[in-house]
Amino acid sequence: MIAAAIIAFALPVLPASDAQPSETRLFAVNRYLCESAEYAVDFAAAVAGDQEEEFAKNTVGKIAKREVCGRYVGIASIEDQRVVVNDGFMYKLTALRFHGDGKLAWVAERVFAVEGHPNSWRL
């Protein structure tokens, strides 16, 4: 119950996405992103496990049996945000829609370990 309160407090409510991104919500992007939310979580987990981004990209690519993550550079807007729990860790997922070509890519950030989950760790 405390985790639910933290999630509700910590994550801002975003407006529903428009068909076309608003010019005021566009921002520059230069980072590793993945083609799906699931691959983004795998990528974030690999980076959190002390892999450098290039090695994490290759690790996720081997799982998918093709390249699914890479460095994206361009102008994008946030299309969707959500929170998921995977293997005892909470991740904030963000979908970015690129201005111009309309490509959608995902990034995941590990937020914290979920207390009481069988795969969570303690210090």
Strand locations in 1-123 (E): 27-34, 69-86, 89-98, 104-113
**For the chain, what are the domain ranges?**
23-113
Average confidence (pLDDT) over 62-77: 97
Quote the pLDDT of residue 8.
38
Quote the pLDDT of residue 95.
98
Residue 111 burial class via C-beta count within 10 angstroms: exposed 0-12, middle 13-18, buried 19 and up: middle
CA atoms within 13 A of residue 38's CA, in its CB half-sphere: 3
Average confidence (pLDDT) over 45-62: 96
* pLDDT tier, 105 (very low <50, low <70, confident <90, very high otherwise): very high
* pLDDT tier, 119 (very low <50, low <70, confident <90, very high otherwise): low
